Structure 1
Amino acid sequence: MQQKSIGKIGLLLSLVVASGFLVIILYSCLTMHALFIMPGIIAQQVIVGVICAVTTVAAALAIVLGLIQKLYGETASSAQKHQLVFQRATEKLYENIYEIDVTHNRAASEETESYFESLGVPHNTPYDLALPIIARQQIKEEFRQGYLNTFSPENVLRAYHSGEQSLKYDFMISTDGGKNFYWMRIIARIFYWDDDESIRMFIYRQNIDTQKQQEERILEQLNRDSLSGLYNKAATQNLIRRCLTEEPGRLYAFFMLDIDFFKKVNDTWGHTMGDLVIEDFAGLLRRQFRDSDIVGRIGGDEFVVFIAAPSRAWVEEKAKSLLEILRYDFKNGGKQCHISTSIGIALSPEAGDDFDSLYQNADFALYQVKKHGKDDYTIFRPV
């Protein structure tokens, strides 16, 4: 819009100036002709007419130039307003915007330098040395290395030469010394600066804590069994596989539990009663473990618990405790049924180091318990 306005101004100015010169040249020619061929009085009158015409043209030029100046001023003012609106809109999206001169390994603005210094970075510290200081001061420990890897000068230059125009990283940050953390997203726009032939990046910091919390709530709902509130089968499998991959060789206990005679509950009292038993049993089971332990319902009245174990003896004591706690009478609206559980256990790595192996071996141990009377536990022993 601004370029179009300036183009119109230039065209109008050119036409006015050209017209003025044509008028002046025309009257100058008439004046010279009058001086040579006309009587003195008539020549004087022509000269006076020329002067009046030139004056009129000059006045017209002054008026037009004034209008042009006003139009240009309004255009510039409009551009400034547009820039201000854009800046304010940007400030609503991002907490801060900083600039880095990656080629010369330094902050590229006073605001960026001030931000570095506010976090304890000495004045004029190179960017690659300032980055780890900033990470230690604000970023939660598990996100620091990812932050450093993403925004290191080497990675930024590699991204630029690979044709990438931006980098993004989500992490948790604290501005109160580590007491409280919230989610932050950094988007870095990489560009070439002609003035000093440098590769630079604008760093946009955006608070995404609300968005992340919503995503986590949705993910949590997708991972939960609607009846029991425990992890569903898919989530249970994925979480156990992740643990086995991240810490291979660690001692884990894989508990598989069934509610004894659950079919009788459904047949005697109906499925509504059965659902109430599942819900109550699941809540009681969940309370026997920490929030970090994996407790899931994998179908019907089958439950799985996966937990890091300090020793085999500890696992046996835990199994005995569960049998005692999960042996009770469930009552609802005058209806009553006795609840107990059977437990099959597989220990990793001796009974397997992957989900499928542990599942099969715990299921085999559970089958042995059921075959010999239920309301007991068995730990799988490899042959």
Structure 2
Amino acid sequence: MSLQKEVTPMSQTAMSTLGIETIVNYLGGGVFCCKNDGVLTIAYASTSFYSMFEYSEGEITALNGPSPNRVLSSDQRINWGRLAENLKKRGLAELELKLVQKSGNYIWAICCLRLMIAEDGSEYFCGILEDVTKRRRSIKREREQLEIIKKAKRELANSEERYRIIMEQAADPICDYNFKTQELYCSPPFKEKFGLEVNADGLLEQLYHSDIIYEDDKSRILNDVYSFLNGKNPKSPEYRFKDVNGAYRWYRVRSTVLCDEQKEPLRMIAFISDIDRQKRETMSLKEKAEHDQLTGLYNRMTTNTLIDKVISQSSTGSRHALFTIDIDNFKNVNDNLGHLVGDEVIVNIASKIKKKFREDDIIGRIGGDEFVVFLTDISRRDVERKADVLQTIFRNAHPHDDPELKVSGSIGVAFYPEDGTNYYELFSKADAAMYAAKNSGKDAYRTYADTARQDK
């Protein structure tokens, strides 16, 4: 059953708010929307959603329905009413769900979930599922490796030779450093994976000054090693190492220290798991979820989150500026030259804005032809200069050099903290200033303070 047939009042507003069409087109996860009616009746689901569960559209009508076509595992206990109340307060929830395929096999998925309320008051859970079954299996494999290490520790007292044999049984690369003898042992898979011969003398210095560790990860891995030796576990022990083929791949490094009967460090053992595919898939999904697919700028939700985060971390005396920019006469471009040309104009403008601003400036596309730029620690004089830069960018974005379809930009500016202390307040003020610029003849910029004085 399609969303349009199930709930007619929500078809236009809900679909535009959720951006389901965009998600379906660009994300590989299963997209769904279902009623908050206990059985979670499906109002909409993408093709990839049904494929994930090995069903065809129409074979399942509810996530929590009766067997045999029940998607949610029966041993999962979720209070959907309480979840809906939490979503109303927090906006977004992330759940790990155990799910059942048509074949009866279980899969695990991360579900990013939001609550949508239709015009008639009906509540809908809308979300996207990412299959993490392989990732969980990878974690299971790591646990098995830890069990090998624990077994090695038990065997250590009896036979060093038996210890070596056990270590070599591990499929993942392993490094073993003996504190007492200062010997370093690298397992055969380590040598096969990295083609590297290392010795214990100045090991960290060797690695740091070689290209085996990805340049951006060197400082972090060095800090993590020292922290580990001081009894602290790294929060995210994931780094990029160069393999025998010269390619950098992502690996997770798990370490443990074995002590003797006097509690003195005897060995430090690290085993290395290849997580490159899972890591890149996660990074790709995160990138798509946070960015506008046409321009590569931050999308509306991410822009809001990042700006509020910067504001929450601002010190006393900080002064920031929020620009809202709307393309003047953009409808003429779409009507006369078509939406493809309109998209070219938007992409061209977005590219030029990114080149003209700092890397840590927050630039977002929050609507069809509407952009946001957030600049930190900036003076009013610099704001004027940046507004001139933006206006020049828009004035030079003539589609196909057609003077009859010339575009420009109307800009509104609000300042933190005097005009607002969060994104919503600043955006409301900047938006009002932007409309004042449009009403004054377009191709202009106004600050909220200027607009407020004119209204008096």
Q: Mark yes or no: TM-score above 0.5.
A: yes
Superposition deviation, residue 117 in structure 1: 4.6
Instruction: Return the match for 2:430 from 345, 358, 362.
Output: 362
CA distance in 1, matches of 2:298, 2:410: 20
Instruction: Return the match for 1:238 from 296, 301, 305.
Output: 305
Tell me, yes or no, if structure 1 residue 291 matches structure 2 residue 370: no
CA distance in 1, matches of 2:224, 2:312: 20
CA distance in 1, matches of 2:411, 2:418: 18
Instruction: Return the match for 1:110 from 182, 187, 201.
Output: 182
Question: What is residue 313 of structure 1 aligned with on the other side?
Answer: 381
- 1:114-133 to 2 correspondences below 5 Å: 115=200, 117-119=202-204
The SS at the match of 2:358 is coil
Superposition deviation, residue 322 in structure 1: 1.6
CA distance in 2, matches of 1:333, 1:361: 34
CA distance in 2, matches of 1:146, 1:335: 59
CA distance in 2, matches of 1:209, 1:200: 29
Task: Tell me if structure 1 keeps the 8 A contact 2:326–2:369.
Answer: yes
CA distance in 2, matches of 1:190, 1:95: 13
- 1:98-247 to 2 correspondences below 5 Å: 98=177, 107=179, 110-111=182-183, 115=200, 117-119=202-204, 140-141=218-219, 151-153=229-231, 155=232, 169-170=236-237, 185-189=252-256, 195-196=261-262, 202-204=268-270, 206=272, 210=276, 212=279, 215-247=282-314
Question: What is residue 176 of structure 2 aligned with on the other side?
Answer: 97
Gap regions ≥5 residues in structure 1 = 1-79, 100-106, 121-137, 157-166, 176-180
Letter in structure 2 aligned against 1:219: K
**CA spacing shift, 1:222–1:208, aligned 2, 3 Å:** farther
The structure where helix makes up a greater share of residues is 1
Taking structure 2 as the reference length, the TM-score comes to: 0.47
Aligned positions, number:
264
Letter in structure 2 aligned against 1:228: T
Task: Tell me if structure 2 keeps the 8 A contact 1:186–1:203.
Answer: no
**CA spacing shift, 1:279–1:292, aligned 2, 3 Å:** same
Q: Deviations over 1:132-183 (max 9, x none)?
A: xxxxxx9755676666555523x57xxxxxxxxxx764265899xxxxx996
Q: Percent identity?
A: 30
Tell me, yes or no, if structure 1 residue 87 matches structure 2 residue 167: yes
The SS at the match of 1:290 is coil
CA distance in 2, matches of 1:222, 1:269: 30
Q: Deviations over 1:186-230 (max 9, x none)?
A: 32346775x446687744153768455554344223322111221
CA distance in 1, matches of 2:383, 2:218: 34
Task: Tell me if structure 2 keeps the 8 A contact 1:259–1:341.
Answer: yes
**CA spacing shift, 1:329–1:216, aligned 2, 3 Å:** closer
| Higher relative contact order structure (alpha carbons within 8 Å, sequence separation ≥ 6) | 1
Task: Tell me if structure 2 keeps the 8 A contact 1:285–1:326.
Answer: no
Tell me, yes or no, if structure 1 residue 353 matches structure 2 residue 409: no
The SS at the match of 2:426 is helix
Higher mean displacement: 359-368 or 322-331: 322-331
Tell me, yes or no, if structure 1 residue 337 matches structure 2 residue 409: no
CA distance in 1, matches of 2:447, 2:347: 26
Task: Tell me if structure 2 keeps the 8 A contact 1:170–1:183.
Answer: no
Task: Tell me if structure 2 keeps the 8 A contact 1:255–1:346.
Answer: yes
Task: Tell me if structure 2 keeps the 8 A contact 1:172–1:184.
Answer: yes
**CA spacing shift, 1:307–1:115, aligned 2, 3 Å:** farther
Task: Tell me if structure 2 keeps the 8 A contact 1:251–1:311.
Answer: yes
Higher mean displacement: 354-363 or 213-222: 213-222
Please report the RMSD computed on the Cα atoms of aligned residues, expressed in angstroms.
Answer: 4.3
Superposition deviation, residue 86 in structure 1: 5.4
**CA spacing shift, 1:264–1:119, aligned 2, 3 Å:** closer
**CA spacing shift, 1:236–1:205, aligned 2, 3 Å:** farther
CA distance in 2, matches of 1:141, 1:117: 16
**CA spacing shift, 1:222–1:379, aligned 2, 3 Å:** same
CA distance in 2, matches of 1:89, 1:255: 60
Higher mean displacement: 271-280 or 294-303: 271-280
Task: Tell me if structure 1 keeps the 8 A contact 2:177–2:183.
Answer: yes
CA distance in 2, matches of 1:314, 1:355: 21
The SS at the match of 2:399 is strand
Question: What is residue 76 of structure 2 aligned with on the other side?
Answer: none
Question: What is residue 157 of structure 2 aligned with on the other side?
Answer: none
Q: Deviations over 1:61-112 (max 9, x none)?
A: xxxxxxxxxxxxxxxxxxx99977753453x62352346xxxxxxx355336
Gap regions ≥5 residues in structure 2 = 1-159, 186-198, 206-215, 243-247
CA distance in 2, matches of 1:261, 1:298: 18
CA distance in 2, matches of 1:326, 1:334: 14
Question: What is residue 440 of structure 2 aligned with on the other side?
Answer: 372
Task: Tell me if structure 1 keeps the 8 A contact 2:348–2:397.
Answer: no
CA distance in 2, matches of 1:150, 1:316: 49
Q: Deviations over 1:19-63 (max 9, x none)?
A: xxxxxxxxxxxxxxxxxxxxxxxxxxxxxxxxxxxxxxxxxxxxx
Superposition deviation, residue 341 in structure 1: 0.4
Task: Tell me if structure 2 keeps the 8 A contact 1:262–1:301.
Answer: yes
CA distance in 2, matches of 1:142, 1:278: 38
